[in-house]
Structure 1
Amino acid sequence: MSKILIIEDESAIRRVLVKILAEENDGYNVVEAEDGLAGIEAIKKEDFDLVLCDIKMPKMDGVEVLEAAKKIKPEIPFIMISGHGDLDTAVNTMRLGAYDYISKPPDLNRLLTTVRNALDRKELAVENKVLKKKISKNYEMVGESKEIDAIKDMIEKVAPTDARVLITGSNGTGKELVAHWVHQKSPRSSSPFVEVNCAAIPSELIESELFGHVKGAFTSAVKDRAGKFEAANKGTIFLDEIGDMSLSAQAKVLRALQENKISRVGSDKDIKVDVRVLAATNKDLKKEIEAGKFREDLYHRLAVILIKVPALNDRRDDIPLLIEHFAKKIASEQGTGQKSFSEKAIELLKSYDWTGNVRELRNVVERLIILGGKEVSEEDVKLFASK
C-alpha cells in the first residue's frame, strides 16, 4: 500500500484529502502533518511514496519544505496544493522539482489522477534505479575473436549516436548483451534502460505493457498505469524478440518512432517521449514481411544499423575465455572456490556443437563446476557434458 504524507495547516482541507485518498480503491496509508516543520520531521523519520504539500503555511512555507525535502530524500515526488493567489508560485515549484500542483478546493478526479500518475512515476524511478545497478555487473562482452572485435568496433561507432539498431542472431548468442553495451557507451547511459521481451507478453497485453493504459480501458485496468516507453523517457528501450510483436502493436511503435509520441490504451491524449529504440530478433524479418507478419515500414525504421551476433560455433576461439569468465562468475554467485578446467577438457568443449550458443555453454560450465572434480577433467566433460 502506498504511503502518502499530507502537509497542510488547514484541518478542513486535510480532512477532505484524507477522506478522498482513504476511499480510493483499497485506500492509501495517509500520514498528516499540520505545518512545514512537522512535515520535514516526518520525512526524516519515515519513507513516503508521495507528499501533498500546501504552499502557504506558518513557520515554513511549501517552497521551503520542497527545497529541504529534496536535499533529504530527493526521490520523493511532491504535489503542491495552491490557493488561487499561489498559482505562479505553484508553477515555479515544478521548476524546483515538484511533480505537479492542484488547486483549492481539490477536484476529486484531478486529485486522484495526479496522485496515481505521481505514484506510477515513483515506482518506475525505483525500478530503473535497481535495474541500472544490475546492468554493469551482469553484462560483459567476453571474446577476442575477429567476429566479436567487429561487433565491439561497431558499438564504439554507433553508441554515441541516437541511431536505431536492429540486433539479429540465434537464441542464446547474446543479443541483449549488445543492447546493454550500446546503452552503456551512449550519452544516455545515466538514464533508464528498459527491456521488453515481446515474446513473453500475451498479444492482448503488449500494447498496455508498452504504452500504458488509463483506468477502465479494460476489465483489469483498475488504475492509470504508465508503460515502458514512458519509463524509458530520456533513455533507451530494448524491444527483444520484436518479430513476435502483434501487427497492431507494431503500428503504435511505428508512430512512436515517427512522431516521438505515444498514447495510453483507452486514451486519446498524446504523451511526448524521448527514447532511443534498440530491437532484437532471432527471426528473418524479411521473410516475416513477405508472410504479412511484420510491417516493412517498421523494419526500415528499426534497421538503421544492423548488428548480427555470431553463433558460438562460428567463434570457437572465444570458448576458453568464456569458460574462465563463467567459472569466476559462478564461483562468486555460489560463494564457492573457483575451479579450473584442464586443457583437454577445454579442447573437448571447443569441439562440441553448441546449438544453444553461449547460454548453453554457461549451463554446461555450471554443471561441470558442481559435479566435476577439483580440476574439471576431460573425463568430467565426457561424463557430465556429453552431447
Structure 2
Amino acid sequence: MDLPQADGLGLLKRIKEVNASLPVILISANARVEEAVEAMKLGAKDFLLKPLTLKMIEIIVSYISNGLKATHQNVSNGKFTIITKNKEMKRILKLAKEVADSNASVFIQGESGTGKELFARHIHNYSSRKDKAFVAINCAALPESLLESELFGHEKGSFTGAISRKKGKFELANHGTLLLDEISEMNYQLQSKLLRVLQEREIDRIGGTAPVPVDVRFIATTNRDIEKQIDEGKFREDLHYRLHVIPFYLPPLRERKDDIPWLADYFIEKYCDINRRSVKGLTQEALASLMQMPWKGNVREFENVIERAVLMCKGDFIDAEHLFLTEKNKQPVTAAHPFMPTISLKEMERNVIFTTLDQTNGNRTHAAEILGISVRTLRNKLNEYRKKMEIQ
C-alpha cells in the first residue's frame, strides 16, 4: 500500500480502469480500516496484512485463481433474512456486500440479540465462498478444554475418550467461513494459538505431529467492549489487530425503532405459518406498546414476544394485552390516565403460563422457551400453583 512514488489505492484504481476483471491483492503493514474498506469498494480481491508467509500467499492466490467463476455468479441470501428499513442498517448491509468478496477478517460488535451471527451469514452468502461451508462455534458455550478440541480437532488416542481422529472447526470450515462467536470469552492461552493460525494458515490437531494447512475466512463477534478487555489484559491486542481488519457495529433495536413495524409483520407471518394461525397484524395500541419498549434483548427478545403473542391471539389482530409487556419495562410516555392494573402481577403471570401451556398442548419445554424461562422454573411455578389450589 505504501509505495515509494505512488499511492496504493490510486494504482489499484488505474489497474481496474485498464482491466476491471483482473484480480488485485493489496498488502499493507498497517491495519487502517478506512483503506481496507476503500480498497474493497475499488475492486480489490483481498487486503492482506504483513507479516505474510509464502504458504499463506500460495493458499490465497490458489483460492482466487480457482474461484473466479464462482465470484461472478449471482448470490442469493437464501433463508437467512435481515429485515430492515433503517437507514443506518441499510448502510451497514451495503458495506457488508462490498467487502464480502474478500479473505479479510471481519470483526462484528453488538449487544446480545442484535443478529451478529445472521449478519455474519449475510457476509458469507455474498462472498465467493458462499457454496462452501459456514461453520459457527460459540466460544462462551464450551469449557476451555473442549473448546480447543472443537476448534483444532484431535488424533486418536491423544487423550482419554479420543477413540478416533476428529476434525475440528478449522478443518470443517476449510475453503469456507469460520464464525468465532463471542470470541472475547476465549481464554488467553487459546487466543495465542488462534493468532498463530491467522498468521501461518495452518493448525496442529491435539496429539498431531504434522501441521494441517487451512484456508478459512475468519469472522469474529463479541457483545463486550473489546478495547476494555484489551486494557484489562483479557484479550490479546495483537489478535485484535489481526481480526479487526474490517469492523462492523450492529446498532441495538432501540436505536432502529423504525424497523419495529416491519419486524413485527415478518415474525407474525413466520409464526402464523409455523403454528397454523391466521393473525393479520397488530392493533395501533399493540404497536404503540412495542415502540415504547427499550428491548434490552434486542431482536431476539422482540421475536420471542411476537411468537408468544401469535399463540395468545384468538382473533385477527394482536392487541396490547397479548404482548404481556409490563409497564415498568416501557420507556416513559406522556399519558392522560395512569396505569391501573385490574389483576395482580402474580395473577397475570399465572394466566400467561397456563395460556401458553394450553397453546403448546402441554409441552413444557416449548412453553418454557416461549416464556423465556427454564423448564425447571416452569415446573416450580406449576408446583407452586398446585399447592395453593390444594390449600384452597
TM range (shorter): 0.5 to 0.7
What TM-score do you get using the length of structure 2 for normalisation?
Answer: 0.62
Does residue 236 (structure 1) correspond to residue 201 (structure 2)? The answer is no
Gaps of 5+ in 2: 1-75, 329-392
Which of 312, 335, 339 is residue 276 of structure 2 equivalent to? Answer: 335
Deviation at 1:382, TM superposition (A): 6.1
Which position in structure 1 is the counterpart of 2:186? 245
Instruction: Give the structure 2 partner of residue 300 of structure 1.
Output: 241
Q: Is the counterpart of residue 217 in structure 1 residue 158 in structure 2?
A: yes
Question: Which amino acid in the other structure matches residue 296 of structure 2?
Answer: T
Counterpart Cα distance in 2 of 1:278 and 1:366: 30
Verify the 8 A CA contact 1:188 1:235 in the aligned structure 2: yes
- Show the counterpart of 2:105: 164
2:203 alignment counterpart: 262
What is the CA-CA distance between 1:334 and the residue it aligns to? 2.2
- Structure with bigger strand share is 1
Which AA in structure 1 matches 2:222?
T
Q: What is the alpha-carbon root mean square deviation over aligned residues?
A: 1.7
The residue number in structure 2 matching 1:326 is: 267
Instruction: Specify the code of the residue in structure 1 equivalent to 2:120.
Output: A
Shift of 1:209: 0.3
Aligned-residue offset at 1:178 = 0.8
Write the distance in 1 (CA, Å) between the matches of 2:92 and 2:83. Answer: 11
Shift of 1:385: 6.3
Distance 1:184 1:199, change over 3 A: same
- Residue 352 of structure 1 corresponds to 293
Q: 1:285 matched to which residue of 2?
A: 226
Q: Does 1:200 align with 2:141?
A: yes
Does the CA-based 8 Å contact 1:263-1:271 persist in structure 2?
yes
Q: 1:232 to 1:379 in 2, by over 3 A?
A: closer
Give the Cα–Cα distance (whole angstroms) in 2 for the partners of residues 381 and 350 of structure 1.
15
Instruction: Report deviation, 1:171.
Output: 0.3
Contact 2:279 2:316 (C-alpha < 8 Å) held by counterparts: no
- Are 1:309 and 2:250 matched, yes or no? yes
How many pairs were matched up?
Answer: 253
- Structure 2 distance, partners of 1:256, 1:171, is 27
Letter in 1 for 2:115: G
Match of 2:131 in 1: 190
Identity value in percent:
42
Q: 1:71-94 CA distances to partner (integer Å, 9 max, x unpaired)?
A: xxxxxxxxxxxxxxxxxxxxxxxx
Q: Which runs of 5+ in 1 are unaligned?
A: 1-134
Q: Deviations over 1:306-335 (max 9, x none)?
A: 100000000000000000111111122223
1:150: which partner in 2? Answer: 91
Query: Is 1:226–2:167 an aligned residue pair?
Result: yes
Which letter does structure 2 place at the counterpart of 1:364?
V
Provide TM-score, normalisation by structure 1: 0.63
Q: Which amino acid aligns with 2:268?
A: A
Query: After the TM superposition, which segments of 4 or more aligned residues of structure 1 sit over 4 Å from their partners?
Result: 135-138, 381-387
1:273 equivalent in alignment to 2:214: yes
